Amino acid sequence: MLSVSFDEIIAKLNAGKLYDFPGGVHPEDKKLLTSQAEIQTVSLPEKLIIPIRQHVGTEGRLAISVGDRVKKGQPLTRSSHPFAIPVHAPTSGKVTEIGPHVTAHPSGLNEQAITIIPDGHDEWTSLTPLSDYTAHSSEKVVEALCDAGISGMGGAGFPTHIKASGTKKIEFMVINGVECEPYITADDRLMREHAWQVRQGTDVLAHLIKPQVIIIAIEDNKPEALKAMQIACQDSADIRVVSVPTKYPAGGEKQLIQVLTGREVPRDGLPADIGVLMFNVGTCYAIADAIFQGKPLVERVVTVTGEAVEKPCNVWALIGTPVNHLLKEAGYNPTKQAQPQVVMGGPMMGFTLNDADVPVVKITNCLLVPASGELIDEDNERPCIRCSACADACPASLLPQQLFWHAKAHEYDKAQEYNLFDCIECGACAYVCPSEIPLVHYYRQAKSSIRQQRDEKARAEKARERFEARKARLEREKIEREEKHRRAKEARENKTPAGSSKDKVAAALARAKAKRAGKEENNTEQDQSATQTDKQAKVAAAVARAKAKKAGGQQSDSKDNQDRSDNVADEKKQQVAAAVARAKAKKTQRDSKSAPDKNSAASEENSSAQSENRATDEVSTQSAEDSKKQRVAAAVARAKAKKAQRDSKSAPDKSSPSGIAKR
């Protein structure tokens, strides 16, 4: 939906005018705490913790193992998927651990992370720059961006190479240097000190995307950054450096697009759908590093600020630096806080960390350590007075009080009717609320609950499908089985008149046997070839075995018993009996009422063994040869049982197999 035409927008930009977005607030920006000092380097921390997933999407495959020595910039994971981007070693050192570690997430849950102890040399791996990127195909450049582990550094962490390889026609490429959130000055300092490199990154992106216009947007409370970028871009006619009026949240993607172009991103769409792509200045800097020097993304600018640190500043923090190391460097003063509190991100959209051991990740732009009373954190929420100040402040033109109402009452379907998912969680509504209701809290909770319910619903749907598919399969198999039986019966009926009386007897015996086993009758063909006496003995043995098995409470596949030679069957029986005995013993142990159960198990085993003996006796009386075979088999089985005993070391196991083996 192109509500505003390209020419119209250009005309307006040429006239130095901009559009506006509804709502917005003007919180005190407090940027002076950190905006005057240069970005500092910090000492190497004792350990670095690199979560293997730091972006939207899936994680890559591990490329190293514990104990490996890694060099700075060496990939720790490999991209195995378009949405998986690798992470790199931030310094040289030794991998000491790969395992769950608390990550930069409001839940404080653990995620897979790699721990590296630095060796202090900070030695780079061999780098392969792509300085002549214009000479290479865009696929190659995009691949280089992916391999350098670059994901959006503005906040969402969307993989940059995916954004840059889109096929939609792009009219405007926007470089976002607005940084509207109070306190944060990381992008401001980056533009002031490294304007040229930001420009270089912009050029790389422009080469890939080929937009008609490039806009670098900077809020008008950062005049130095604006000046620096203007100087860096003065030779290019395609790049416009635009000063945007200061208003929170002008830096939000949708809001900035609205300010610059007057276009609105459709609800389920992406900016690319309306011909716009947006990148953060930090991402541009990282791209320039990756292309011109071959350096992967291993460090970023982090604002460490708040009144509870003595020296608020911007620092170059290696990805994976624990938060407490940066706080120590900035002079954290715990006495200024009633209780320890560190906010990751800005005061409006950040979240309080659960643990100071959380590492800095690719999207961490600020650590805010507020003194008591600097931010409101007391729980003095009062009832909503329906003043509608929140609706006036909402940049997405929602009705926050209605959303709050329904979210609080867990009426999620109604909340969705009021477009809950269009909320960008900027916190402007909560900022203006005179009742101090933490509105965004309610929205976030409602959103995550809705997402979870959706997932559950999808899972239930899948389970239902699988259940029904299984039912259909069982039904089909049953019909097939019946059909097979019917056909076998017919075939037999056609055959029997031709056969001799001897064959008839044999067939009848075989049928009886097969019926008992509940098996197909095809096997009778095989049996017919054997002599009758032998067969009778075998049948008797099989019947006896089946009985014995029933007594033992074990239903095993009797088809095997028919088909295979006696000694194999016997052996197997022994094994099965041993397994049963083991299981029973285990069960009794677990139930901790060992004595009576064990006895019953043992007696059951005995009875099964006895009936088995009876069966084998019958066989032996009928055929001397058979009995010999049986004995050999029994010996083999005894050996096996003994082995099984040794394997399962629990004491009660010993009684039952030996009971069977004893003859």
Partner 1 sequence: MSLTVALIAIGLLALIFGLVLGYASIKFKVEGDPLVDQIDEILPQTQCGQCGYPGCRPYAEAIANGDEINKCPPGGEATIKQLADLMGVEAKPLDAAHGEEDEKKVAFIREDECIGCTKCIQACPVDAILGAAKHMHTVITDECTGCDLCVDPCPVDCIDMVPVSPTTTSWTWDFDKTPKGDIPIKMVS
Classified as helix, coil or strand, 230 is: helix
Name the residue nearer to partner 1 (CB basis): 388 or 467: 467
DSSP element (H, E) containing 18: none
CB of 489 to partner 1, least distance (A): 27
CB of 342 to partner 1, least distance (A): 11
Q: Which tokens go with 413? A: 């379907």
CA distances from 512 to 524, 539, 616, 628, 641 (A): 10, 9, 20, 27, 32
Residue 379 carries which DSSP code? -
Q: Which tokens go with 508? A: 């009848």
In this structure, which long-range contacts are made by residues 435-438, counting pairs with CB atoms below 8 Å and at least 24 apart in sequence? 435/381, 435/382, 435/383, 435/384, 435/385, 436/376, 436/380, 436/381, 436/382, 437/381, 437/382, 437/384, 437/404, 438/381
Q: Note whether 378 and 7 are within 8 A (CB).
A: no
CB of 514 to partner 1, least distance (A): 20
Name the residue nearer to partner 1 (CB basis): 25 or 274: 25
CB of 445 to partner 1, least distance (A): 4
Distance CA 329, CA 147 (A): 31
Name the residue nearer to partner 1 (CB basis): 106 or 269: 106
Name the residue nearer to partner 1 (CB basis): 551 or 579: 579
CB of 218 to partner 1, least distance (A): 23
CB of 103 to partner 1, least distance (A): 7
Name the residue nearer to partner 1 (CB basis): 339 or 531: 339
Name the residue nearer to partner 1 (CB basis): 505 or 583: 583
Cα 309 to chain center, whole Å?
35
Cα 435 to chain center, whole Å?
38
Name the residue nearer to partner 1 (CB basis): 82 or 106: 106
CB of 380 to partner 1, least distance (A): 11
Angle at 438 between CA 432 and CA 439, to 5 degrees: 80
CB of 414 to partner 1, least distance (A): 14
Q: Which tokens go with 7? A: 């020419």
Name the residue nearer to partner 1 (CB basis): 109 or 156: 109
440 burial type by CB count under 10 A (0-12 exposed, 13-18 middle, 19+ buried): buried
Burial letters 91-106, b for 16+ CB under 10 A, else e: bbbebeebeebbbbbe
> Which residue shows structure tokens 């981007």?
85
Name the residue nearer to partner 1 (CB basis): 174 or 420: 420
CB of 540 to partner 1, least distance (A): 27
CA distances from 474 to 470, 480, 517, 520, 559 (A): 6, 10, 20, 18, 21
Residue 87, Ramachandran bin (φ over 0: left; ψ between -120 and 50: alpha; else beta): beta
Name the residue nearer to partner 1 (CB basis): 75 or 182: 182
DSSP string, 593-645: -HHHHHHHHHHHHHHHHHHHHHHHHHHHHH-HHHHHHHHHHHHHHHHHHHHHH
Residues engaged in binding partner 1 (CB under 8 A): 27-28, 30, 103, 105-107, 109, 111, 182, 343, 347-352, 368, 370, 373-377, 379, 427, 430-431, 433, 436, 438-442, 444-445, 448-449, 451-452, 455-456, 459-464, 466-467, 469-471, 579-580, 582-583, 586-587, 590
Q: Note whether 438 and 430 are within 8 A (CB).
A: yes
CB of 511 to partner 1, least distance (A): 26
CB of 373 to partner 1, least distance (A): 6
Distance CA 91, CA 116 (A): 8
CB of 67 to partner 1, least distance (A): 26
Strands of the 276-280 sheet, one edge to the other: 239-244, 213-219, 172-177, 276-280
619 burial type by CB count under 10 A (0-12 exposed, 13-18 middle, 19+ buried): buried
Name the residue nearer to partner 1 (CB basis): 372 or 658: 372
CB of 172 to partner 1, least distance (A): 32
Name the residue nearer to partner 1 (CB basis): 462 or 495: 462
Strand pairing category for 213-219 and 172-177: parallel
Name the residue nearer to partner 1 (CB basis): 267 or 590: 590
